[in-house]
Amino acid sequence: MMTKTCHLNLLMDSERVSSSPVRLRIMLPTAAILVSVSMAIWWLILTGQDILAKTQMSNLRDDMERHQAENAKAIADAEMADELQSQLEQLEGYGESCKRRWSETLASLAEVMPLKVQLTKFEIPAPPPQVLSFVTVQKGKKRTVKLWGPTNKTESVSMVIAGRTPKETPVISLMESLEGDAFTNSIVIAKDPRNPNPSPKVRSFRQDIPQRGEGSRMLAFEIEYTAKERRFAK
């Protein structure tokens, strides 16, 4: 290792220059100028883009204003079209529900009615009243919510035949006839004992008070059939 030397250096620190071709005193100002120029150019570009965006926006706004009336009419028409379509959908559903031919059922029933059976009642009961509201609990408070219409698109229908007969056989014959093809479109036969709603369901089958001119024994029956449900949809 060297000992200390006595270095008499007549070169001032400010005169020492770098041998690197990359001179900081050139590069730094150049870089600073370039950065400034870049910032200025960037700003100009951004300003140009901003002006362009605003011009385009203005053009679009003008075009929309020009077409405002037409557009309003088009929107109104579209809304009307949707409205009419919705109405039609609802009414078509109703129209579907009107396609049941009960006259045919009545006529067919008349044909299959045994002679020994005296029909005392033929009924298609009215559907139960509609419940168009329900109570809901929200945040601990009960609220009644009203509905514009039933949520179910079907209505159940039933058919009740009541009559009098001297014996069971004609009734059985009638019931067998009602299971025939003539009534396939109107009534539902569901005889499975596990079915909660069997069809037919004999409501009553009892002895009846005979009337003047009749024999001593008369049986009164009432049988309910489940009819094909009314559908309110196409």
Partner 1 sequence: MEIKLTKDRKLTLGGKRRKRRGKLDITGVDLVPVEGKGCPAVRIVEKKGVLRLLAAGYVPAPSDPVPDSWEAAAKSCTWAFPTQFQSPAAALAVSSPDVFVAQTTLSALKSDISSGTHNKQESAASAGSRRIGLRREPRPAAQQATPSAPSDIAEPKPGVPVSNGGMRFVMRPLDGSDGFILEAGLPEYQALWYSRLLPEGRRPTAVSIQPRQAAIASCPVLQKAFSEAGGDVLALFADTGHFSIAGYKGGSMVLLRECRVGGGMSSIAEKLKKGLGLDDEMLSSALDDNLIDPRPVLDPLVAPIIDELSASKDYLSGKLGCEPKAVIVSGVDVGFSHWSSFCEERMRLKMARLDVFEGLLGVPPQCAGDFLVATGAALAVIGEEEAS
Partner 2 sequence: MNLGGMAPNSRRSALVTMAFSLLAAGIYFLAVSPTKTRLEKSSKALSDHRARHATVMKNLASSGTVAKRIEETESALKPFRDAMLEPLLESLAMRAKSLVDAMAQEAGLADLEYEALGQRALPVPGRMPRQLHSREPIRITARGSYQAAASFLMRLERDMPLVALEALSITAVQATPETQRVEMILEWPVKGAVTRQ
Binding to partner 1 (CB under 8 A) within 1-60 occurs at 1-13, 15-21, 23
In the complex with partner 2, the residue whose CB is nearer, 121 or 139, is: 121
Binding to partner 2 (CB under 8 A) within 6-25 occurs at 14-15, 24-25
Return the number of other C-beta atoms located less than 10 Å from residue 205's C-beta. 13
In the complex with partner 2, the residue whose CB is nearer, 191 or 212, is: 212
In the complex with partner 2, the residue whose CB is nearer, 20 or 151, is: 151
Among 1, 87, 138, 156, binds partner 2 (CB under 8 A): 87
Cβ neighbours of residue 222 closer than 8 Å, sequence gap 6 or more = 121, 160, 161, 162, 202, 203, 204, 205
**Exposure of 7 by Cβ count < 10 A (0-12 exposed, 13-18 middle, 19+ buried)?**
exposed
Task: State which amino acid sits at residue 16.
Answer: R
Among 4, 103, 190, 218, binds partner 2 (CB under 8 A): 103
Q: Is the peptide bond before 193 cis (omega within 30 degrees of 0)?
A: no
Does 81 sit near partner 2 (CB under 8 A)? Answer: yes
Taking CB within 5 to 8 Å according to partner kind, which of partner 2, partner 1, none is near residue 194?
A: none
Token couple for 22: 């990359």
Give the interface size with partner 2 as a residue count (CB under 8 A): 87
**Binding span for partner 2 by CB under 8 A among 48-56, 137-145, 171-179, 181-189:** 48-56
**H or E element, residue 142:** strand 141-146
Q: What are phi and psi of 129, to 5 degrees?
A: -60, 150
Binding to partner 2 (CB under 8 A) within 182-211 occurs at 211
Taking CB within 5 to 8 Å according to partner kind, which of partner 1, partner 2, none is near residue 85?
A: partner 2
Task: State which amino acid sits at residue 58.
Answer: S
Among 50, 168, 176, 214, binds partner 2 (CB under 8 A): 50
In the complex with partner 2, the residue whose CB is nearer, 64 or 202, is: 64
Sign of the alpha-carbon dihedral angle for 139, 145, 131, 82:
negative
Binding to partner 1 (CB under 8 A) within 142-181 occurs at none
Among 136, 141, 102, smallest CA distance to 122 is for 102
Residues of this chain that bind partner 1 (CB under 8 A) = 1-13, 15-21, 23
